[in-house]
Every structure is written in C-alpha cells, then in structure tokens.
Amino acid sequence: MSKNTKKTSGKIATLAADTLNSPTSSATARSLAASALAQKSTDKQTSAEMEETAGKVLGSDKYNEDTKALAASVLSQANKAR
C-alpha cells in the first residue's frame, strides 16, 4: 500500500485548533479538525471513513469555507491507493 507523506500545514492546524475551541462548530467540522491535527506531525493518514466525510463536505453547499478547507486538507492526506 502506498504511503502519503503529506502533513497538515501550520495554517490548517491553527484553523483546526480554533474549530475545536469554538462552541458553535458542528460535529462534522470538529471531526475534520481532529483528523487534521492528528496528522500535523505524525505519519498518520486519513481513514476511509474520514475520507468519505471530507468528500461529502466538499461536494455540499451546506458547509462554510473553513470546514471545506479542513476537508480538503484531510482528503489530501488520504492513502493514495484508496
């Protein structure tokens, strides 16, 4: 299986931390933020479940730009073989 070595950028990590600290963030945004932070300085990759969630977020008009940025980051760190 091919390994994706991308890591979460500082800008996205800050956005993720702000999302997790905001009482108004949706559960979906919080999940994406947690996944992005988990990939900040580790070799972890996006799970298939988070990959699916991120894809749905990017394809929907329901989510704001911050949530879509988190989704794009998480999706870019998915396993290349999936």
Q: What is the pLDDT of residues 31-79, one digit of tens each?
A: 999 999 988 887 787 888 999 999 999 999 999 999 999 999 999 888 7
Residue-level pLDDT at 53: 95
Nearest alpha-carbon partner for 82 in 50, 58, 57, 59: 50
Residue-level pLDDT at 80: 61
2 pLDDT tier (thresholds 50, 70, 90) = low
Nearest alpha-carbon partner for 71 in 82, 63, 79: 63
21 pLDDT tier (thresholds 50, 70, 90) = very high
